[in-house]
Structure 1
Amino acid sequence: MQPDSDNGIPTLYAWAGGGAAFEHLTDVFYRRVLADDVLRPVFAHMHEDHPRFVAMWLAEVFGGPSAYTEQRGGYPHMLSKHLGRAITEPQRRRWLDLMMDAADEAGLPADPEFRAAFVGYLEWGTRLAVSNSQPDAEPPRAAPVPHWGWGVAPPYTPS
């Protein structure tokens, strides 16, 4: 595998198999979501391209191209899709469980180092989504797309 970072270590994006791997992951995931009693109502009216948009987000987070930022508006756009949705802990947990099952089915790398970083981001991101989605939430409206690496949570200092 060719490194695709400045330090010679492959990004999580490259390790996972690039954009095609994340697109396959989200296709598998949203098939599961639409068959799930807990999440189907949340996503029943999603845009047909929603899985592709989520793949773009995940690809950028894990070190791939900045397509989500360039084409979709980055963090502010993603945040706008969650505001006021009042995501519950059972919904968050089901989302996480289905994503992990989809990662297995889609053939994402199963090595402990990759999965630890992958799950670390999913835990962090879904917990923020729950918090940011509550009716009284006032999250930062402008922040960068997080860039997740091998076992390191990205620091964030509000400006």
Structure 2
Amino acid sequence: MSDSIGGAAPSFYEQIGGHATFDKLVRRFYEGIKSDPVLAPMYPEDDMEGAIWRLTAFLEQYWGGPTTYSEQRGHPRLRMRHQPFKVNPDAKERWLGHMEVAVNELELPELQRATLWDYLERAALSMVNTFEN
């Protein structure tokens, strides 16, 4: 039996709590970013709410939620959007460290946590665009 309209299985977005969960995840993630000396300069200090919205909307869409991200920004083109920034292995590990704190605070069931974490690790690795310090 499904909670979704039309009998379809609920999306991962719905399974983990929808917008409230993704908003909590991203806001906690950015708390760590703000104090990170390597990553903070990559984010728009004067548009932190915009950055929060973009990541939240992207993740929601990816996991089966609203398509607002693409409606407002077009195709995600993640590598292209991150190309202006030096994303080296250290930046990737820092990003994952802040994201891990945020994911753990969601206290998701293990299968859902592992599913989300697997994607985030692969996404972070795909953003690496240099091996320079």
TM-score range, shorter chain: 0.7 to 0.9
**Would the alpha carbon gap of residues 43 and 3 (structure 1) be closer, same or farther in structure 2, given more than 3 Å must change?**
same
CA distance in structure 2 between the aligned counterparts of 1:98 and 1:5, rounded to whole angstroms: 38
TM-score of the superposed pair, with normalisation by structure 2: 0.82
**Would the alpha carbon gap of residues 96 and 20 (structure 1) be closer, same or farther in structure 2, given more than 3 Å must change?**
same
Name the residue aligned to 2:53: 52
2:65 partner SS: coil
Name the residue aligned to 2:117: 119
Question: Which aligned pairs between 1:8-157 and structure 2 lie closer than 5 A?
Answer: 8=9, 10-43=10-43, 45=45, 47-48=47-48, 49-76=50-77, 78-105=78-105, 107-109=106-108, 111-130=109-128, 133-134=129-130
CA RMSD of aligned residues (A): 2.4
Deviations 1:20-73 (A, max 9, x none): 211121111111110123322322546231111100000111111111111111
CA distance in structure 1 between the aligned counterparts of 2:6 and 2:117, rounded to whole angstroms: 21
Matched residue type, 1:112: E
**Would the alpha carbon gap of residues 65 and 6 (structure 1) be closer, same or farther in structure 2, given more than 3 Å must change?**
farther
Percent of pairs with identical residues: 27
Q: Contact 2:103 / 2:113 at 8 angstroms: preserved in 1?
A: no
2:125 partner SS: helix
Q: Contact 2:82 / 2:127 at 8 angstroms: preserved in 1?
A: yes
CA distance in structure 2 between the aligned counterparts of 1:88 and 1:108, rounded to whole angstroms: 29
Higher helix share: 2
CA distance in structure 2 between the aligned counterparts of 1:113 and 1:5, rounded to whole angstroms: 25
User: Once superposed, which parts of structure 1, at least 4 consecutive aligned residues long, lie more than 3 Å away?
Assistant: 3-7
Q: Contact 2:11 / 2:63 at 8 angstroms: preserved in 1?
A: yes
CA distance in structure 2 between the aligned counterparts of 1:72 and 1:26, rounded to whole angstroms: 18
Structure 1: any 5+ residue segments left out of the alignment? 135-159
